[in-house]
Amino acid sequence: MAGGTKIVGGTSDPIKIFANIFISFIGAGILGMPYAFKRAGLLEGILVMTFVAYFAVKAMGLIIECKYKILRMVEGEGKGEMSERAPRSTDKVKNMNGNKYVELKCSDIDEVEESQENNNKNRKRSRSRSTSSESSPTLLSTTSVNYTDIGFAALGVPGRILIEIALLISQIGFCCAYLIFISENLSSTFPSIEKHKWLGLMLPFLFLLTLIKDLSKFAIFSLFAQVSNLFAFMIVYWFDFQHLHLAQVDPKEFSFDGLPYYFSVAIYCFEGAGMILSLEESLSIDVREKFKTYLTNTIIGITILYITFGAAGYLSYGKDTRDIITLNLPNDAGFNFALLVKGCLCVSLFFTYPIMLFPVFSILEKKLSVSGTFYSTCLRLFVVLLTGLVVVKVPNFGELMALVGASCCTLLAFIMPALCHLVLFRDEVDTRSKVLDYTLVILGSLGAIVGTADTIINAKH
């Protein structure tokens, strides 16, 4: 779930499309699902996971609709045509480095026919803004639209900043979860070395990896990570079902107390708002209209995987289910499949860590104007140390997943897509669409408040 990482391609192969979507949503979060089922109960876990998956797909569809709404506006600007509700001042279109850019703002959606005098004034203000800052962050490329552009087009600078902050925190949160997973599994396998010592050993090497600025150099490690994940899931399934007949489990079905936690973890697992536009652009143009169908079908498969994986793990270990299911695997002396699974996952997450920080450094270096300098190295060191500090303060994998899911992923996955859609399509959507938008905003807001509060309260106990 690397928010904003670009997927290069243009495939029309259904298998490749499915694989791209699948690997973008499946990560370390699935290993916390059995514990989430333990907290919520079997039936509640199944219902909430299905509920979250449904609304997550709907919200991601809204992001795609917003993208094409903005492109229609930009196209109208570039042609100087007065398309429906498109911005009318052709002076907003600028040519820079061979590309066209257009200034968008929230009020552009509402422009109506005005007198010639007011149009002239608007053109003068537009010229003044353009000439004052050719590199203004309000310039939107006409050839590509990302999530932050949508936030800006709908809500102005605050919308862009809010999405960027949420993306930064969520990506850093994912990396912290990786560190917890690796240190927990290493300390359980080698009890003589404490968890914080493993953390101290890893951070210097991770910092060196973040200095590699060519994402393609990590391609082989990314492939290894996905193969390791699939291998690990199969082995954990095998251990679960092997252990199932031995477990004396009286599973709970519903737990109101566990609902906020489970909802937050489910959002964490399905948050793909930062990737959805890149995934859509990875399809060749002739099949992009089918992207929502591919997305829906893939998410159905992923939902089934999450539910069966979580339920099987909980039914196998019951009240002994750990926050990371691999910690329930046997630590027998000598080589075994459990040790192999832990080792593969630790190595894959170790090399996924710098990949997840790519969008973080991209945003921060652009904002701070420190790319390629000594200060860029200092920034990378600071972020790596920050992830280590967070792990020391929030050492529980489940709590960190819930906190990131409630505070940032809910905002990115539910609230911002609905708000942007409401603004950009305010006079075009029917009642049913508005109901969906308001439902996502209310559901996301309640989930964020209750989930964050529940995680903070439980962390103190």
Mean pLDDT in residue range 221-232: 77
Judge whether residue 135 has pLDDT over 50.
Answer: no
For residue 211, which amino acid is it? L
Judge whether residue 57 has pLDDT over 60.
Answer: yes
d(CA 455, CA 452): 5
d(CA 41, CA 321): 12
Q: Which range (262-266, 331-335, 362-366) has the least confidence?
A: 331-335
Mean pLDDT in residue range 198-211: 92
d(CA 385, CA 388): 5
pLDDT score, position 247:
61
d(CA 448, CA 265): 12
| Choice between 394 and 264, residue whose per-residue pLDDT is larger | 264
Question: With pLDDT > 90 as the criterion, what percentage of the chain qualifies?
Answer: 31
pLDDT score, position 20:
81
| Choice between 251 and 38, residue whose per-residue pLDDT is larger | 38
Q: Are 252 and 42 in contact (CB under 8 A)?
A: yes
What contacts 24+ positions apart, CB below 8 Å, involve 129-138? 129/103, 130/91, 130/92, 130/94, 130/103, 134/94, 134/96, 136/103, 138/103, 138/104, 138/105
Q: Which range (45-49, 185-189, 298-302, 416-420) has the least confidence?
A: 185-189
Q: What class is the 14-70+151-459 domain?
A: mainly alpha
The per-type count for the chain, helices as H runs and strands as E runs, is: 18, 3
Helix (H, G, I), strand (E, B) or coil at 156: coil
Question: Could you tell me the pLDDT band of residue 2, with boundaries at 50, 70 and 90?
Answer: very low
- For 253, counting Cβ atoms within 10 Å of its Cβ (0-12 exposed, 13-18 middle, 19+ buried), the class is exposed
pLDDT score, position 459:
67
DSSP letter at 96? E
Question: Could you tell me the pLDDT band of residue 84, with boundaries at 50, 70 and 90?
Answer: very low
pLDDT score, position 348:
83
Question: Could you tell me the pLDDT band of residue 45, with boundaries at 50, 70 and 90?
Answer: very high
At 142-182, the pLDDT tens digits run 457 889 999 999 999 999 999 999 999 998 988 998 999 89
287 alpha-carbon distance from chain centroid = 24
Sign of the four-CA dihedral 173, 178, 181, 186: negative
Residue closest to 49 by CA, chosen among 405, 322, 404, 329: 405
> What are the Cα distances from residue 231, in Å, to 225, 338, 347?
10, 11, 13
| Choice between 426 and 130, residue whose per-residue pLDDT is larger | 426
**Domain limits, CATH 1.20.1740.10, in the chain:** 14-70+151-459
Strand 93-96 relative to strand 139-141, pairing? unpaired
DSSP-based helix, strand, coil % in the chain, nearest 5: 75, 5, 20
Judge whether residue 30 has pLDDT over 60.
Answer: yes
Question: Could you tell me the pLDDT band of residue 334, with boundaries at 50, 70 and 90?
Answer: low
pLDDT score, position 335:
56
| Choice between 54 and 431, residue whose per-residue pLDDT is larger | 54
Judge whether residue 98 has pLDDT over 70.
Answer: no
At 373-403, the pLDDT tens digits run 888 999 999 999 999 999 988 878 888 888 8
Judge whether residue 40 has pLDDT over 70.
Answer: yes
Residue closest to 142 by CA, chosen among 72, 86, 83: 72
Question: Could you tell me the pLDDT band of residue 63, with boundaries at 50, 70 and 90?
Answer: very high
Judge whether residue 124 has pLDDT over 50.
Answer: no
Residue 228 tokens read as: 């390791």
Question: With pLDDT > 70 as the criterion, what percentage of the chain qualifies?
Answer: 79
224 alpha-carbon distance from chain centroid = 21
What contacts 24+ positions apart, CB below 8 Å, involve 154-161? 154/66, 154/106, 154/419, 154/420, 154/421, 154/423, 154/424, 155/106, 155/419, 155/420, 155/423, 156/105, 156/106, 159/416, 159/419, 159/420
At 186-204, the pLDDT tens digits run 888 888 888 889 999 999 9
Q: Bridge-partner residues for 350, per DSSP?
A: none
pLDDT score, position 155:
92
d(CA 22, CA 336): 28
Average pLDDT, the chain: 79
Q: Which range (118-132, 324-338, 429-443) has the least confidence?
A: 118-132
At 417-451, the pLDDT tens digits run 999 999 999 887 788 889 999 999 999 999 999 98
DSSP letter at 412? I
Judge whether residue 132 has pLDDT over 70.
Answer: no
Judge whether residue 94 has pLDDT over 50.
Answer: no
